[in-house]
Amino acid sequence: MLAVMPSWAPRDDHDPIVDLGKAAIGAAVKRGRQELGWPQRWLALQAGVSQPVISRLETGRLNGIRWQTLARIVGVVHARRPVRLPDLQDWLKPPLR
**pLDDT per position as a tens digit, 44-82:** 999 999 999 999 999 988 888 999 999 999 999 989 887
- The ranges assigned to domains in the chain are 16-81
Task: Place 5 in a pLDDT band, splitting at 50, 70 and 90.
Answer: very low
Query: Is the pTM for the entire model greater than 0.95?
Result: no
| 9-13-67 Cα angle (round to 5) | 90
Q: Identify residue 95 by its one-letter amino acid code.
A: P
Rounded to an integer, what distance in angstroms lies between the CA atom of residue 13 and that of residue 87?
23
The helix/strand/coil state of 48 is coil
Rounded to an integer, what distance in angstroms lies between the CA atom of residue 36 and that of residue 4?
43
pLDDT recorded at residue 97: 47
Mean pLDDT of the chain: 81
The CATH superfamily label for domain 16-81 reads lambda repressor-like DNA-binding domains (1.10.260.40)
pLDDT recorded at residue 9: 42
Whether the CB-CB separation of 27 and 86 falls below 8 Å is answered with yes
